[in-house]
Amino acid sequence: MDLVSRNPATGEVIATYPAHTSDDIERRIAASVAATKHWSKTVPLAARAAFLVRLADLLEARAESYGALITREMGKPLKEAVAEVNKSALGARHFAERGPDYLADAPIEGLNAFVRHAPLGPIFAIMPWNLPFWQVLRFFIPTALAGNSVLVKHSDSVQGCAQALEQLIADAGAPEGLYQNLAIRRGAVAAIVADPRIAAATVTGSTEAGRAVAEVAGAHGKKVVLELGGSDPFLVFEDADLDRAVDFAVLSRFANNAQSCIAAKRTLVADGIYDRFEAAFVEKAAALRVGDPMDPETQLGPMARDGVVVETERQVAAAIAQGGRVLTGGSRLERPGNYYPPTVIAELPHDAPVVQEEVFGPVAMLFRFDSEDAAVRLANQTEYGLGATIWTGDPDRAARVADDLDAGAVFINSFVRSDPRAPFGGVKASGFGRELGAIGARELTNAKLVFIE
């Protein structure tokens, strides 16, 4: 069955792409095996780093056209889509410069020995639609630098981006088979993970998808890296800069059309400033300009898929039934496309079932807390543990609370985001393993001990 790309702003079909057959998949896996042998054994690390510089150059030169492609296929405002491409270029330049140091042999003090970060082989990646360039490239760049080849199953709905990425990497000078796009559906994933030629797998996506892949990988003794869902808390204490906290809370919740694993999905505010915070937050959220994502004035475009809107409608209805009060928004916009307005819900019990889910639409949930201990308890009262944010003017409190939060990353007086220089990933149901930074550069390698007598 063909894979279909639709414009989420209109619902119109952009293009259809034939799914790869079993023979296509076999040829691509074989090409990936051959590419790993060539790339890791005959192309020195310095030459791989130079390839990343060419990749960055092309991303910057094509940022506008790639940004328009992203916007057409998944609906984010064009300005944000172009920024995503440029961030990918920044990542390539960072690993071209620092990656060789990250991957250098590491001597072991007191022993005539060192650790060499050797490639594993072909890596299979399952990637989502919400950041269709950055999430693929943040995985590919350090993974390829380390000497691995990759096969990528991109989301059905962004196959234009998937093909553009494959062509981009070829244009940058990659050998045949280094990057293979697999135009396949979910049902084909397990067999590829289980294939003995696949060395490891990585998933960015839902917790359910990650667990399914991890189960297959574990059964075959393979490493897997999981960057999964999140329900990030955004904690605001009484001594915070309230105006800046409101601005960043709105930005964190509604950026990328509110479809981000690291969005501030639960905003927890101290009793003493709650009423002022709520009023300012609702005012700013309600004022966000919803519209055509190609319009430079648009701040919130359509949801990427109709199914995302349907799920958001279900979750808002559940929130109301479970005691929540809608302060703005709350129902699908009556217009063509997958549009849902900025929505703010308050007064939900924190143990309400909908609060324990990941809300992947433009819905912010506001909560009160009456003490530091209560703030930490509520923040951790979820199965997720991706990111968390603390707003306070007290450095000692910031340090205490950061230590107590169940999260892969904690940002203080800012908002959670990824950066090529820093490790990224979560704990609990948000996954395990890290991407980016020195830790991410080594994640999909064999830390091989070499001992010399």
Of all helices (H) and strands (E), which one includes residue 152?
strand 150-153
**E strands present in 347-426:** 363-369, 384-385, 387-391, 409-412
pTM: 0.97
pLDDT at 1: 77
pLDDT at 99: 98
Rounded mean pLDDT of 152-180?
A: 98
List the beta strands (DSSP E) in 7-136: 13-17, 106-107, 113-119, 123-126
At the second CATH level, the architecture of 232-412 is 3-Layer(aba) Sandwich (3.40)
Determine the average pLDDT of the residues in 15-31.
Answer: 98
**What pLDDT was estimated at residue 412?**
98
* CA–CA gap between residue 421 and residue 22 (Å, rounded): 39
> Rounded mean pLDDT of the chain?
98
Hey, what are 35's tokens?
């590419």
User: pLDDT-based confidence at 57, cuts 50/70/90?
Assistant: very high
Find the angle CA(213)-CA(216)-CA(219) to the nearest 5 degrees: 145
Kindly state the tokens that stand for 397. 């409190």
pLDDT of residue 172: 98
| pLDDT classification of 83: cutoffs 50, 70, 90 | very high
Task: Identify the three-state secondary structure at position 175.
Answer: coil
88: helix, strand or coil: helix
Q: What is the pLDDT of residue 170?
A: 98
Percentage of the chain lying above the pLDDT 90 cut: 100
Burial of 79 (0-12, 13-18, 19+ CB in 10 A): middle
Specify the pairing of strand 343-346 against strand 325-328.
antiparallel
Which residues are tagged catalytic? 227, 261
Residue 312: band (very low, low, confident or very high) from pLDDT cuts 50, 70, 90: very high
Determine the pLDDT at residue 431.
Answer: 98
CATH topology of domain 3-228+430-451: Aldehyde Dehydrogenase; Chain A, domain 1 (3.40.605)
pLDDT of 125 > 80? The answer is: yes
Domains 3-228+430-451 and 232-412 are alike in CATH topology: no
Residue 279 pLDDT class (50, 70, 90 cuts): very high
Q: Where are the domains of the chain?
A: 3-228+430-451, 232-412
pLDDT per residue as tens digits for the range 201-240: 999 999 999 999 999 999 999 999 999 999 999 999 999 9
What CA–CA distances, in Å, run from 153 to 13, 55, 202, 267? 21, 20, 10, 34
Q: What is the pLDDT of residue 380?
A: 98
> What pLDDT sits at residue 160?
98
Average pLDDT over residues 289-310: 97
Mean pLDDT, to the nearest integer, of 122-142? 98
